[in-house]
Amino acid sequence: MSVKQIIQSSTTVTSDECIYTWTIKNYRLIKSKVGEKIESPKFGVGSDDKKYFQLSLYPAGDTKERAEGYISLFLRPVIDSTNKSDKLIYKCTLSAINNDEVVQQLTLHDDSAIGKGWAKFYKLEHIDKLISFENTKSSIVKIRQWTE
């Protein structure tokens, strides 16, 4: 006797999006050395299974060897080591703005829980283009996360 099996399965991929604005007031008062960072407050993407992220800004560059003379900017997932997800897939657009004008914009895709960014995000010699008349520097992160 023959047996016929029909098996079906499906995976649903969902996408959550967050637009996060981080403004640093009195930016010109920052006197940092290469390797010193400023971290944004944590922000979450998603509703049911929220994933948290954080920006790390190095006003004088993250390392002397690769980023001296530049502002370095990184997006890092905030991972609970006791509850690691199998996969974290996201697309991120990071924009540096001055008085609602986009001065620098970069996009990345990542599928790891380590985080990514740019060691040479913006040249320090052009810093005046980033800082507003109110002495603030703002970054906008538009992040879309996919889950299975």
Instruction: Look at the block and give the residue holding tokens 């029909």.
Output: 6
Residue 11 pLDDT exceeds 70: no
Specify whether the CB–CB gap between 42 and 50 falls below 8 A.
no
Q: What is the pLDDT of residues 66-120, one digit of tens each?
A: 898 999 999 888 876 556 555 677 888 888 888 888 888 888 887 777 778 889 9
Q: What is the pLDDT of residues 38-50, one digit of tens each?
A: 999 998 887 766 7
